[in-house]
Structure 1
Amino acid sequence: MKHIITVLICIIALVFISSCRNDFEFSNSTGSLEFSQDTIYLDTVFSTIGSSTRTFKVYNRSSDDIVIPRVALAQGTSSNYRLSVDGVPGQVFENVELLAKDSMFVFVETTVDIMNFTSGTQFLYEDTIEFDSGANLQTVELVTLIQDAIFLFPERDAQGIQETILLNTDPDGNELRISGFFLDDTELNFTNEKPYVIYGFAGVPSNKTLTIDPGARIHFHSQSGIIVANNATLKVNGALSTTEDLENEVIFEGDRLEPLFDDVAGQWAAIWLTDGSKDHEVNYATIKNASVGIIMDNNNPTSNGATLKINNSRILNSSNSALVGTTASIEATNSIFHNSGQSTVVGRFGGEYNFNNCTISNYWNGSFRQDPTLLLTNVISNTDLTADLVAANFTNCIIYGDRNIELALVDDGISTFNFKFENSLIRFNDFSNSFDGIPAYDFSNSSLYQDCVFNENPLFEDVDAFKLRIDNTGGANGIANPASDTALDISGISRPAIAPDAGAFESTDLSG
């Protein structure tokens, strides 16, 4: 018992002694702080839309616990930047403590209304974070590029109910609606003067045309897109660009401009060309990071030729598919359909498809993708619905990816199923002979497969960076038919009169 009492007395004494120590006495900062960054660049943002949050660390390398008398934005409470210092939000902070050999996080974000600062379409917004405003002043600079934009969004009525677009009614008469609005006549021409930022679905009214000028930039918020009504039309009038800035191309993408979002698929919904819409043209466009790049529902028999014509365009990095046609009439030339979570190009429930000098490719997360890059079928999955596949012609094309089977042909044996591949490179490695005896996969049948090459790597420049140029030693080199190929490739380079290449690009030497 005496031993236990002695131990307790020692513990109490130690606690008493430690409580009298001055270990947590702080000294004033001497201006010797260190920072993980001396300038913080918050990526380009649109006016009135908040930026992403940037983070940096402040280090106390000394052996003393210190107090920083003042941490504040130089513009104080009038600044458009917002801070969080060691977990505390604000713009001005007094007596911030930092232990010896320790560090703390500082978080920064901003929202700026460009109309309060300039009449231009973009400008740099800057401020400074000051650490101790006295003789020991240290600073971290803040820089953000702010862009003005035209915002299009559903309005709310007097009761606060947000505008929607009627899609259909179910068998019980219930309305099926999506968040969206119809564009006014004054909004049916998108120019290149300012970017457009769309919330919800921007609808093109019946018997109207949405025209998009060369160089226009269209950005979509999450779950947003464009929807084109019955007898309405979409005309995307991009043009060939001469620089890497793609100054004449029309670009459709999400509204997050930070590099972190450059290749994040599924940031917005789709361009939806509904049943009965007509005469669509997409020229020199890049459509990227959507759920589905373009949905084309059913053919309009009054259309002038194909209901949808896609030329010299790229649909990249779609979380579902780049292009889905349902009983559609689609013509595509010199275009790229690359990387999707499911099949990149889908022609389902019949229709008519003519692709020339196109690249249809998929390298989506390796084994995580189960679907081939090209799917053609005259049925609707899991239903008894069937329709004629009037034609599916793929000429001078590349159909390739990182799966062994990159072509799926699903014929119900009831409706018409017409297709043909000519002078194309196709990946189809049937190691298990699972497709033996199926007529659609009889690659020796010249009425279905004429002058095609199989399983020869096209040697793309960089599939992860969406660069689909091909090397001049790859499998698509020199296999196209000069009688049917396009005169120029997607970049405006002339195709040779003898032995041109399959795909959207003419090949080049990528070895250097």
Structure 2
Amino acid sequence: MKRYLYFTLALGFLLLWSSCRKDFEFSPSTGSLEFSKDTVYLDTVFTNIGSSTYNLTVHNRSDNDISIPTVRLALGESSNYRLSVDGMAGKSFENVEILSKDSLYIFVESTIDINNFPNTNGEYLYTDQIEFDSGNNLQKVELVTLVKDAVFIYPGRDGTTKVIETLTLDLGGELVETDLQGRELLPEELTLTNEKPYVIYGFATVPNGETLTIEPGARLHFHDNSGIIVSNGASINMNGAYSSDQELLENEIILEGDRLEPLYADIPGQWGAIWLLDGSLNNTINYTTIKNATIGILCDGNPNETNNKLTITNSQVYNSSSFGVLGRNTSIMGENVVLNNAGLSSFAGTLGGKYNFTHSTIANYWNTSSRQFPALLLNNFVLDEENNAALADLTEANFNNCIIYGNDNPEILLDELEDDNVVFNFKFTNCLIRFDSRNTNLTGPNYDLNDTNHYEGNIFNQDPNFFKVDENMLVIGEESAAINLGNPTFASQVPFDILNVDRTTSPDLGAYQHITFPVEELSD
């Protein structure tokens, strides 16, 4: 009896639902569609590189279920845009249905060859339209993309096997085959100018005995897992120059990823590194910004050369997913250097070496994830797979008139494996450092802040008053604790700050002399 009752009730509900349902009846659209935007800007792309995918929402605000007779690109099949409408890819669609009070999603992409458009002067504004219906009911949404011309550097591919060329590197006199895609630069590629941007796929390698010269205003864009390798016996000279117009910075060299859309402007780890191999020599970087890499600069070997392995001046390295600058038993001299936002350390001098930084700002306000290391790391060892340590001398590590700060405590780590046969020499002079011994378990002679052999004239845990750390703007303001505390002797060695402001009379700490922050900027 119960089973019969349940069956009767279920049948009753089914008949009731059936009697209420009516088949959807779609009426032709009347030109009253609403759109989430009237123009879809696909931002800037390089020629022949696909854009990101952008979306457009089409709303049917009416009480009727409607059918749009046609949705199409105005340029038809010749258009360089591609559409996806309700999951269907194409450039023209018929009888596109939208229920009452519902929406339709359209996704837009583009790949554009600038060479199809003459007299572009390196840029071309490509446009098209998405047309909905026709005649009196015609509605349009504009599509706009700025396309930039570029010089492309990429590895070869075997015509038969389709295998992409990989590198054999000279690592300390030993030729090592790697799985790194890339190739050696050709003689005509050893001078990079500001005439066009460069887009690099794989690792572009500077051959033994050659010098890669990068001229003022050059723009280098790297694809995923790409970078520059400077071989044994080779050099790189990045010769950026100061520009008085800080809005344009046309003479600065910029190295970043190859995605130009605003979404990618500050995403770390988009490309590999600038790698100075053991045996490369006389490398210089001046007025250069290196951003969004895995390791901004990886510098290996040659700690005892007469000339520093790397001299970096008036330059910034930020948004590195691993290290900003990583030295491994090497020699680096830095003046007016600004480092910020690294997943590990902004600067690391490991396995000993020789490091001298003056009037530099070494900060780390990484907020993408937790980080293991401080802004500045020094050590004198490396561990192998079996946890055995190889040691080397930290001949010198001097930081003069610097700011070493961040959003963690402490922001210095002096990780020494003690050995009577190995030296560990370091000194911080007239620096502003974040190191609060009450909140750390770091103890021992390396952290005796009263030992003038290691610490002299420093201040600790006072506000540097940076402008906007999240935007890597580390100029200091009028409330900075770093004002007027620079040692004049070091200031005379670096008489102008990174913005070409004279600091000899009253030197502030770090790479910048202080400014008055713009009120309108602070209120944003």
Is this a same-fold pair by TM over 0.5?
yes
Asked whether the 8 Å contact 2:308–2:332 carries over to 1, the reply is yes
1:11–1:356: structure 2 CA closer, same or farther, 3 Å change rule?
closer
Number of residue pairs aligned between Structure 1 and Structure 2? 506
Query: Are 2:295 and 1:289 equivalent residues in the alignment?
Result: no
Counterpart residue number, 1:180: 182
Query: Are 2:396 and 1:391 equivalent residues in the alignment?
Result: yes
Q: CA deviation at 1:350?
A: 1.0
SS in 2 for 1:483: helix
Distance 1:461 1:144 in 2: 33
Q: CA deviation at 1:447?
A: 2.1
Query: Are 2:452 and 1:439 equivalent residues in the alignment?
Result: no
Counterpart residue number, 1:406: 411
Distance 1:5 1:413 in 2: 84
Counterpart residue number, 2:240: 238
Aligned residue identity for 1:374: L
Q: CA deviation at 1:161?
A: 2.4
Counterpart residue number, 2:315: 313
Distance 1:180 1:383 in 2: 33
Asked whether the 8 Å contact 2:232–2:278 carries over to 1, the reply is yes
SS in 2 for 1:264: coil
TM-score by length of 1: 0.95
TM-score by length of 2: 0.93
**C-alpha distance after superposition, 1:239-274 (max 9, x if no partner):** 012221211000000001111111110000100000
Distance 1:173 1:195 in 2: 32
Q: CA deviation at 1:370?
A: 2.2
Distance 1:404 1:369 in 2: 11
Aligned residue identity for 1:393: N
Counterpart residue number, 1:263: 266
Distance 1:206 1:168 in 2: 9
Asked whether the 8 Å contact 1:31–1:138 carries over to 2, the reply is yes
Aligned residue identity for 1:405: P
* Range 282-291 or range 465-474, more displaced: 465-474
Asked whether the 8 Å contact 2:426–2:454 carries over to 1, the reply is yes
**C-alpha distance after superposition, 1:152-188 (max 9, x if no partner):** 1110123322211113699x99843411100000110
Distance 1:16 1:508 in 2: 75
Aligned residue identity for 1:137: L
Alignment of 1:36-435 (within 5 A): 36-119=36-119, 120-159=121-160, 160-167=162-169, 175-243=177-245, 244-299=247-302, 305-365=307-367, 368-381=370-383, 382-414=387-419, 415-432=422-439, 434-435=441-442
1:145–1:433: structure 2 CA closer, same or farther, 3 Å change rule?
closer
SS in 2 for 1:77: helix
Q: Which runs of 4+ in 1 moved over 4 A?
A: 1-19
Distance 1:474 1:56 in 2: 46
1:396–1:7: structure 2 CA closer, same or farther, 3 Å change rule?
closer
Q: Percent identity?
A: 50
1:29–1:385: structure 2 CA closer, same or farther, 3 Å change rule?
same
**C-alpha distance after superposition, 1:328-383 (max 9, x if no partner):** 11000001011101011011111111100000000112871121110111111443
Segments of structure 2 that go 5 or more residues without pairing to the other structure are: 520-524
Counterpart residue number, 2:522: none
Aligned residue identity for 1:164: T
Counterpart residue number, 2:478: 472
Q: CA deviation at 1:496?
A: 4.3
1:503–1:173: structure 2 CA closer, same or farther, 3 Å change rule?
closer
SS in 2 for 1:186: helix
Aligned residue identity for 2:400: T
1:17–1:240: structure 2 CA closer, same or farther, 3 Å change rule?
same
Segments of structure 1 that go 5 or more residues without pairing to the other structure are: none
SS in 2 for 1:269: strand
Counterpart residue number, 1:454: 460
**C-alpha distance after superposition, 1:11-33 (max 9, x if no partner):** 565466457x4x41111111000
